[in-house]
Amino acid sequence: MPELEECSGIRYLRESAYDRKTIKQITRPAIAQVKTFKEYPDAPKIELHRTWELSQSKITSLLQNRRSLRKYGKEPIKLEELAFMLWASQGITAKSAHYSFRTSPSGGALYPIETYLSANRVEGLEPGLYHFDPQNFCLDQLSKGDSTKDVAACCLDQNFMVNAAVCFMWTGVLRRCLSKYGNRGMRYVILDAGHICQNLLTAAEATGNGACPVAAFYDNEMNTLLGLDAAEETAIYAAAVGKKQEIKGEGLKLLKTGAAV
């Protein structure tokens, strides 16, 4: 097993990193686009139900109504809502001899993802940078003061993040996964983050909040903001969360469940 530094998974992360100084010089390979939907015109078609037993249930409306939201109301979110979102994304729900299982699945139950928060408007929580401790279900305060401006700057200056009540930032402790799976472990780190983010988006929707995933960030700036040793732990994904200001996106036509497009 190669040491972390020698893994091609790590090289891939480095080679695909964004850096403020060089981002404009990145040359993307000329790869032709393809259609969004794959079709099998000659295949027999099996019609599917467009409503189902759970049509009226909360899960259907949460999935139907979730949209990436980039405009947030001025009101703070409640600490209780934040606690729910943290639990939904990374809460521990079961224990066995060797593992503490969580709300989100994890390749090999290795849980390489750490959660950090930049809290700006959370009722009962001082603005600051926090780390979520799922074992003790609490937040570690890392620094004081609203850092959402810094987070937005790290995220390619995506200024909508400044108005978020809270930004989630997920990092990968690479060794947790790569020590077992080698290069393939890098896939699992990134997949884990996707599961966690999706749970957060659904939990945000359930609490009357909106969220937007963010994967465009300057890796080194985000790692520095979070005080990470980037050789061991690196930023993977983020999301901005805030009170819903506009429920539906502009110019959006809402469809019924299972509607043909």
Ligand X SMILES: Cc1cc2nc3c(=O)[nH]c(=O)nc-3n(C[C@H](O)[C@H](O)[C@H](O)COP(=O)(O)O)c2cc1C
Q: Which residues bind ligand X (CB under 6 A)?
A: 67-68, 70, 158, 212-216
Nearer to ligand X, 127 or 213 (CB): 213
Contact 92, 100 (CB under 8 A): yes
Nearer to ligand X, 138 or 191 (CB): 191
Nearer to ligand X, 182 or 194 (CB): 194
Nearer to ligand X, 120 or 125 (CB): 120
Q: Work out how close the CB of 120 gets to ligand X at its nearest, in angstroms, rounded to a whole number.
A: 17
Q: Work out how close the CB of 238 gets to ligand X at its nearest, in angstroms, rounded to a whole number.
A: 8
Q: Work out how close the CB of 58 gets to ligand X at its nearest, in angstroms, rounded to a whole number.
A: 19
Nearer to ligand X, 36 or 56 (CB): 36
CA torsion sign for 98, 104, 107, 112 is negative
> Residue 200's closest CA among 77, 45, 84, 64?
84
- Residues 6+ positions from 130 with CB-CB distance below 8 Å: 116, 117, 118, 119, 139, 140, 141, 142
Q: Work out how close the CB of 43 gets to ligand X at its nearest, in angstroms, rounded to a whole number.
A: 27
CA angle 61, 67, 70 (to 5 degrees): 145
> Residue 112's closest CA among 239, 8, 235?
235
Q: Work out how close the CB of 179 gets to ligand X at its nearest, in angstroms, rounded to a whole number.
A: 26
> Residue 117's closest CA among 72, 80, 177, 171?
171
Nearer to ligand X, 139 or 166 (CB): 166
Round to whole Å and give the CA distance between 214 and 197. Answer: 10
Q: Work out how close the CB of 156 gets to ligand X at its nearest, in angstroms, rounded to a whole number.
A: 7
